[in-house]
Copies of this chain bind each other. A is one copy, B any other.
Amino acid sequence: MTRVAVLGATGAVGQRFIQLLSEHPEFDIAALTASSSSAGKPYHEAAKWRVDTPIPEAVRDVEVVETDPDAIPNDVDLVFSSLPSSVAERVEHGFCEAGYVVSSNSSNERAAEDVPLVIPEVNAEHLDLIEVQRDNRGWDGALVKNPNCSTITMVPTLAALTDFGLERVHVSTLQAVSGAGYSGVTSMEILDNVIPYIGGEEEKMETESRKLLGEFDGSEIRWHDVDVSASCNRVATLDGHLENVWAELSENPTIADIYEAFEAYPSQELHSAPDPLIETFDEPDRPQPRLDRFLGDGMAVAAGGVQETPAGIQYNCLAHNTIRGAAGASVLNGELLARDGWL
């Protein structure tokens, strides 16, 4: 069993980490951290538990500690981070300097040249960038990122299309409120409404996609030259980001080719990796957030509605934004780090 710590364990994504880790066969929760105002309290008091399964007994009375490398046990081998981006860089660097390997969901440094941005089923080999990172930064530890929840929903499907000559992508997102955190979207903003803007989200989708689909040449990631244009919307769903995608391709695959490419796209042999990674639907009105977000225990990507367009194809995809798109993504990266010997 790998001993793990969760930084920022009381927030919305932190609670999903607890839920996923409390029954994990390879990971053992050794420390939960939060801000100094929560340190010293038992977890059930520090966190306002809002997941719809009960708070796991094993963490209920665990004493929360400060978010500091000195506050966690020495035998911790892997640190999960879900901190506000305003403080994440400083804190994460501190842990990396202290020798910890950090699997982070925070948005800082995702585009940095020497930080691996990884979806294990898509670009596991980017993890080798850790060597470059350690050289550059002089760390014993390492910092690995997973992408933004809206990016992670789409990129597995794009990865399945690269053999058809992926040239340009238009994507419109219908994102759930949980993506903004527990208090991120007020009810007055979203009841009987849509907000056609999420700050910074479109840029994240446009840049992260290109890095994820890029190739690591031993010293750097050569970004894919696909041109991505995103339009991001917040809608009144609790969980599950749905996305309308248009992909312009240099080849001319049939609709059947596309479905086959999605279904045949390989998964990884990791505990949290779903198989298949991409679940497809023939019905034109699927996937739908409420019905399909829990496919693969919330770790699968659902796709459907494939149609031909004059310049390529269009389709819809969906993933659970706080599982596959956040906590589950970091846990999966942690499993990959363990399997490939980086801990």
Chain A residues with CB under 8 Å of chain B are: 12, 50, 52-54, 168, 170, 172, 174, 177-178, 182-197, 227, 229, 231, 233, 235-238, 242, 244, 246, 284-291, 294-295, 304-305, 309-311, 314, 316
Contacts and interface: CB of A to CB of B under 8 A. Distances in A.
A258 B5 CA distance: 41
A241 to B, nearest CB: 10
Nearest to A291: B52
**4 tightest Cβ-Cβ pairs between the two chains A and B:** A172-B172, A231-B244, A197-B285, A193-B290
The oligomer's copy count stands at: 4
Nearest to A290: B193
Given A170-B246, A177-B187, A186-B183, A235 B291 contact: no
A231 B314 contact: yes
B196 A316 contact: yes
A286 to B, nearest CB: 8
A193 B291 contact: yes
Contacts of A186: 182-187
Given A185-B186, A244-B233, A309-B229, A289 B193 contact: yes
Nearest to A176: B192
Contacts of A52: 290-291, 294
A194 B288 contact: yes
Given A177-B191, A194-B237, A316-B196, A172 B244 contact: yes
